[in-house]
Amino acid sequence: MQHIPKADLNDFRSGDSQTKKRFVQHIGSSFKEIGFLALKGHFLNAELQEDLYREIRAFFALPQSVKSQYEIMGSGGQRGYTGFGKEHAEGRTVGDLKEFWHFGQDLDSQPNLKSMYPDNIVVKERDQFNTIGNKVFKKLEQTAQVLLQAIALYLGLDEHYFDEYILEGNSILRAIHYPPLTQPPQDAERAAAHGDINLITLLMGAQGSGLQVLNRNNEWIDAIAAPDELMINIGDMLSRLTNNHLPSTIHRVINPPKEDWGKARYSLPFFMHPVPQMPLNCLPQTIDQEHPKGYEDITAGEFLHQRLVALGLLKA
């Protein structure tokens, strides 16, 4: 596959059973064949997107001494600010050329999870920063819930299989700033090749060049979304759950050509995580003689911890 497939979430929500069925088959085969999808018809409007871009540009423009006050040591970078070059892809030691901020879940219906999730960090310098971040978080979470309902049907599960596991799951909205390059980056990339940890990722900010996907023929292809599209990809948790029937796709953000070194890049991925206690045990219907069970039983919380250690964000 040489191009990222496209879909419209309104087809799933249309009320027409055949249109809904075609959507389910299309997105399922797209995720199986390449693991990525450009999606329109989501719940996030252009005005709210621009509001968040305004806030994150202003935040990352703050003096380093101010931003560093929001870096929480020992938290694995799960909330607040993470400084430039501190995260690296699994298996690498060179840090990625980025800094980022994490918005997390504001719990309402499951207060028992408060002991498991870090508190959100409030930015004092920007009155609307957290309010707008939370609004975007909820719209992307709503979009992810509907998309997972379609994925559940594709897998032969009940349409609402994922609902109980993702209700106030440990999801993260990450605001990323890739600063302008001022010197040759040596071995570092804006984001080295990696797979995501979570169930699915919904990405704002894939309208420009830079994001690339490794297709099943081991070829890097550009993933560029239209202005009204989110870029969606499968994460490692869903790969484990489906015994690699829906494989997580390796992707990267390459460095710009030298003539564009002076341009910053911003992107906003929403990492849809379930609650920590969700079992990621391979679904029985995905296991047979040709596809033996490929992963050990594990919970989402245990798997997340393993991966944060591998990324250099937590100590073993």
* DSSP states along the chain: --S--EEEHHHHTSS-HHHHHHHHHHHHHHHHHTSEEEEES-S--HHHHHHHHHHHHHHHTS-HHHHHTT--TTTTT-SEEE-TT----TT--SPPS-EEEEE----SS-GGGGGTSPPPPPPTT-TTHHHHHHHHHHHHHHHHHHHHHHHHHHTTS-TTTTHHHHTT-S-EEEEEEEPPP-S--TT--SEEEE--SSSEEEEE--SSTTEEEE-TTS-EEE----TT-EEEEE-HHHHHHTTTSSPPPPEEEPPPPGGGTT--EEEEEEEE---TT-B-PPPGGG-SSSS---S---BHHHHHHHHHHHTTSS--
Rounded to an integer, the average pLDDT of 72-81 is 80
Residue 258: pLDDT above 70? yes
Which structural domains are found in the chain, ordered by start?
Answer: 44-146+157-310 (2.60.120.330)
Closest CA to 6 of 236, 151, 23: 23
Residue 257 phi, psi dihedral angles, 5° rounding: -60, 160
Task: Please state, in angstroms and rounded to a whole number, the distance separating the CA atoms of residues 213 and 216.
Answer: 10
Chain mean pLDDT for the chain: 90
Q: What percent of the chain has pLDDT over 70?
A: 93
Task: Please state, in angstroms and rounded to a whole number, the distance separating the CA atoms of residues 72 and 78.
Answer: 9
Structure-block tokens of residue 31: 């995720």
Q: What pLDDT is recorded for position 181?
A: 80
Asked if residue 280 lies in contact with residue 298, where contact means CB atoms within 8 angstroms, the answer is yes
Structure-block tokens of residue 49: 């997107």
Asked if residue 94 lies in contact with residue 84, where contact means CB atoms within 8 angstroms, the answer is no
The tens digit of pLDDT for each residue in 204-256 reads: 876 777 899 998 889 999 999 898 999 999 999 999 999 999 999 899 988 77
Pairwise pLDDT comparison (108 vs 79), residue with the higher score: 79
Report strand pairing: 36-40 vs 230-234. Answer: antiparallel
The tens digit of pLDDT for each residue in 135-193 reads: 999 999 999 999 999 999 999 999 999 999 999 999 999 999 988 887 777 767 677 78
Cβ burial of 46 (10 Å; 0-12, 13-18, 19+) is: exposed
**Which of 16-20, 96-100, 107-111, 194-198 ranks highest by mean pLDDT?**
16-20
Task: Please state, in angstroms and rounded to a whole number, the distance separating the CA atoms of residues 36 and 54.
Answer: 27
The tens digit of pLDDT for each residue in 117-149 reads: 888 999 999 999 999 999 999 999 999 999 999
Task: Please state, in angstroms and rounded to a whole number, the distance separating the CA atoms of residues 213 and 306.
Answer: 24
Q: What pLDDT is recorded for position 88?
A: 58
Asked if residue 48 lies in contact with residue 174, where contact means CB atoms within 8 angstroms, the answer is no
